[in-house]
Structure 1
C-alpha cells in the first residue's frame, strides 16, 4: 500500500487551488498545512505539495524526462469522470487527448487526462 507521494511545485498557491479542489472532489480531506506546503489524505495515503526553492525553479518539470510521468486516480463512476471533465474544462485546465475522450487509454478504459499547473499529467479513471 502506498503511504504518501510528495511533489515539489513551482507555485504553491496555484497548485493548492488546483489539487485541493480535485482531491476533495475525489474524497480526500485536507491533512497538513504549513508555510511551504499542503497535504490531503484519503485513508492511510496522503499527497504532499511543497514549494520548490527559488534556486531550482529554472529547471522545469517534464513528464517525458526521467521521473514521474503521471498520477492516476479512481473516480466513483463514468458519470463522475464526465462531471469532473466538465468542471476541469470550466476551470480552464489543459485537457490531453480531448479528441479521444473518454477512451484515450483504450476501449475498456474510461478516463480523462489533463495537466496540473506544472504540467504533470493527471488521469481520472472510472472503475
Structure 2
C-alpha cells in the first residue's frame, strides 16, 4: 500500500475572520496563507514550522449539521492529561460550548479521553490524550454527541 498521511482538513465556515481568531487562539496555529477576496475567502493554518493542518473556507451559512453526510468531528491528540486540562481551562475561559462538562474517557475502563467542544460554527472538536483520563470525569455517554462509537 502507498504510504500516505492527512495533508490538512478543510472546514467550511461562515466568518473567516472569526474562525481564524478561534483556531489561532485555541490551538496556537498561524496563518500560512490566506485570501480575503470576495467569493474566494480562505486561510491555510498550521504550526509555526511544518505544513498546513486546517484550511478554513468561508462559503457556508447557518450552523454545522449532524444530519447530513460529512465530518463527524475532528480530534487532536496531545501528549498528556495536563495538556488537555490546559486547553480545557483556556476554552472555558473563552466560554466555548462543551459537549460534556469535563474530561471524559472514551469508554468504560479506558485510559484515553479528553474534552469535546464546538468551534464558532458548531463543528465538533476533540482534544484527547492516550493516557490519564481515567482519573478525571466520567465516561462519555453512549449515543452522545462526540465520538460515534459511544
Q: Which piece of structure 1 moves more, 28-37 or 110-119?
A: 28-37
- Aligned residue among 88, 92, 115 for 1:89: 92
Corresponding residue for residue 51 of structure 1: 58
CA distance in 2, matches of 1:63, 1:116: 14
Q: CA offset at residue 113 of structure 1? A: 0.4
Which structure is higher in RCO with an 8 Å CA cutoff and minimum separation 6? Answer: 1
- The two structures have a TM-score, normalised by structure 1, of 0.81
The answer to whether the aligner puts 1:18 opposite 2:19 as a matched pair is no
Find the structure with the greater CA-based Rg.
2
Where do 5+ consecutive residues of structure 2 fail to align? 131-150
Where do 5+ consecutive residues of structure 1 fail to align? none
Query: Measured at CA, do residues 108 and 65 of structure 1 come closer, stay the same or move farther in structure 2, by a change above 3 Å?
Result: farther
Corresponding residue for residue 34 of structure 2: 33
CA distance in 2, matches of 1:78, 1:29: 24
Q: CA offset at residue 64 of structure 1? A: 4.2
How many residue pairs align between the two structures?
Answer: 118
Of Structure 1 and Structure 2, the greater helix share is in: 1
Calculate the aligned-residue CA RMSD, in Å: 1.8
* Over 3 Å off, 4+ runs: 42-45
Corresponding residue for residue 113 of structure 1: 116
- The two structures have a TM-score, normalised by structure 2, of 0.70
> Match of 2:104, SS?
coil
Corresponding residue for residue 72 of structure 1: 75
CA distance in 2, matches of 1:33, 1:12: 10
